[in-house]
Amino acid sequence: MDSITIRSADAGDAAALSLLLGQLGYPSDVRDIPARLEKLYARPGSTVLVAEAADGEVVAAVTVHLFQALHTNEPTAWLTAVVVEENARGQGVGAAIVEYAERWAIQHGAHKISLTSATRRQRAHQFYKDHGYEQTGVRLAKDLATASVDTTATMAPEPAAKFLPG
């Protein structure tokens, strides 16, 4: 692709984001996208990036989240919803938007970046490996909306933190 611009997504991108999410396998009503963007931007350490072709068409998107973990001092970045429009694949758009997301993560303190990808997406796995990512584990998931989880059990309140003078 000759020229792309990578920028933060906004509500005006809802139709394009709905199309891209559908291509990724997550059909999304265009009317839901602005509220989703608002919730993401309300969460510190999250951004949604889009790649825009010279003609103004949005041809790719990625969401980046930073999170703190107990086992490290620095936040880890997590890529989600990485997608390039089917007709723009193989033209460097994916590499450009992922690299931009990596720079964003570094600028926001991340020392590591991770992602998950469905096992059926072999082409995507090779893309990530070609760009320096390595398989380090297995992702397991549970759909809580359909799972058999006892939601009637009450949870004990979290104990108050106690600090002893040093």
pLDDT band with cut points at 50, 70 and 90 for residue 150:
confident
Higher-confidence position of 141 and 93: 93
Average pLDDT of the residues in 7-19: 98
56 in any annotated domain? yes
CATH at residue 97? 3.40.630.30
CA distance linking residue 57 with residue 51, whole number of Å: 8
166 in any annotated domain? no
Residues in Cβ contact with 18 at an 8 Å cutoff, skipping those fewer than 6 apart: 28, 29, 30, 33
pLDDT tens, residue by residue, 37-67: 999 999 999 999 999 999 999 999 999 999 9
* Domain count of the fold of the chain: 1
C-alpha 53, offset from chain centre: 21
11 in any annotated domain? yes
User: What's the confidence (pLDDT) of residue 159?
Assistant: 67
- Domain around 30: 4-130
Q: Which of 58, 127, 50, 59 is closest to 95 using CA atoms?
A: 127
113 in any annotated domain? yes
155 in any annotated domain? no
87 in any annotated domain? yes
Q: Out of 28-42, 51-65, 129-143, which region has the weakest mean confidence (pLDDT)?
A: 129-143
Average pLDDT of the residues in 111-116: 93
110 in any annotated domain? yes
Which value, in Å, is the radius of gyration of the alpha carbons in the chain? 19
**How distant, in Å, are the alpha carbons of 9, 37, 68, 144, 157 from that of 34?**
10, 5, 26, 25, 35
22 in any annotated domain? yes
